[in-house]
Amino acid sequence: MPLEALASGSCAVGALAHFASTGLVAWRAARDRRRPAAPPTRPPVTLLRPVRGLENHLEDALASSFALDWPEYEVLFCVADADDPVVPLVERLIAAHPHVPARLLIGDDPISINPKLNNTVKGWRAARFDHVAMVDSNVVLPPDFLARLLAAWKPGTGLVCAPPVGARAENFWAELEVAFLNTYQTRWQLFADLVGTGFAQGKVMLYRRSILEPLGGIEALAAEPAEDAATTKLLRRAGYRIRLVPRPFEQALGRRTFREVWNRQVRWARLRRETFPHLYAAEIGSGAVLPSLACGLWAWAAGMPVLPALGLLLAFWYAAEIALARSAGWPVGRWSVPAMLLRDLAIPVLYLQGWLGNRFVWRGNAMSLAEPAGGG
């Protein structure tokens, strides 16, 4: 029957994409956990950390900047406003770690609608070294952080980046964010890297000034509303490849509210829709909802019990995600599967939100994608 064939084919395609991506990323994660990062060279690095406001586990994340196992590096903290409450914390951390060259840079360079990029410009201009790692304030850096970044830099590379791995979730809504980040968004990004189509993610990005400056420098990243999308397009046009760290780094979440999680996902959805609309159009098929509907329709058309068929599909679906998380060393808890299920139910609604609006709030800044990306 045509209906039965269509439904079974749709279910099979969705399930195959899910199990192939989880399986391959789990295999790579398990392999790379056994291999310590071994960069061929250990050049000096400038670590740029844009900061704004206080957030969960911020002191731990920023303090980790001073405990890196690397022969020579500097840390530049960037803040837009001298009255920001994060300033005393940064100053205290710098004073407590005199063995690491570090400075706090204050000021804003409105080259774009992107507040993080505007905050980071002064750090880029003040950097002493060719290798510059831009790292969000809530990423916890392990001692081998720079070793893992530099080990991923191969010939032809224009950027090495790392998607965030959610950790230290302290309530259910933080677990929901973990479900969005780890076995969904990070999985698909690592899978894209495996098949040779890696793209930038703004949480952690390692540049070389000698590559970016001839392409227009940091100012060229104002061409898009998000610096990672601008980086991806700029480097691909120049013939460079973007590579991912096989073992991404933790983002300490703490407690979250549903509104915080939802607003962040809406923001990212609208940015993806604006910068890569053809890829965003395919995201509707990335969760469990459409394959489950197809599976149920196939079971009904074939005269089979619908609920057992759905239950079997979803049991294997989430078992694959849990296996991936365990292989990669990502957190798994009692709320992981319920959070994954809620995430997948939310994906179609989130997908529509991505298409239907242009406005969002980014770290306290009201933004609109209707504004020109390059103006400030």
In three-state form (DSSP H/G/I as H, E/B as E, the rest C), the secondary structure along 37-67 is: CCCCCCCCEEEEEECCCCCCCHHHHHHHHHC
Q: How confident is the model at residue 375, as a pLDDT?
A: 46
Got the DSSP string for 183-244?
A: IIIIHHHHHHHHTT-----TTEEEEEHHHHGGGT-GGGGGGSSSHHHHHHHHHHHTT-EEEE
**How many Å apart are CA 57 and CA 15, to the nearest integer?**
37
Q: Which helix (H) or strand (E) holds 120?
A: helix 115-126
pLDDT, tens digit only, all 376 positions of the chain: 576 777 778 888 889 999 999 999 999 888 887 777 789 899 999 999 999 999 999 999 999 999 999 999 999 999 999 999 999 999 999 999 999 999 999 999 999 888 999 999 999 999 999 999 999 999 999 999 999 999 999 999 999 999 999 999 999 999 999 999 999 999 999 999 988 888 898 899 999 999 999 999 999 999 998 999 999 999 999 999 999 998 899 999 999 999 999 999 999 999 899 888 998 998 988 899 999 999 888 888 888 898 999 999 999 999 999 999 999 999 999 999 999 999 999 999 999 999 998 877 666 666 677 665 554 3
Residue 101, both tokens: 């060259």
How many residues are present in the chain?
376
3-state helix, strand, coil in the chain (%, to 5): 55, 15, 30
Catalogue all structural domains in the chain, each as residue range(s) with its CATH number: 2-26+276-358 (no CATH), 38-256 (3.90.550.10)
Q: How confident is the model at residue 326, as a pLDDT?
A: 95
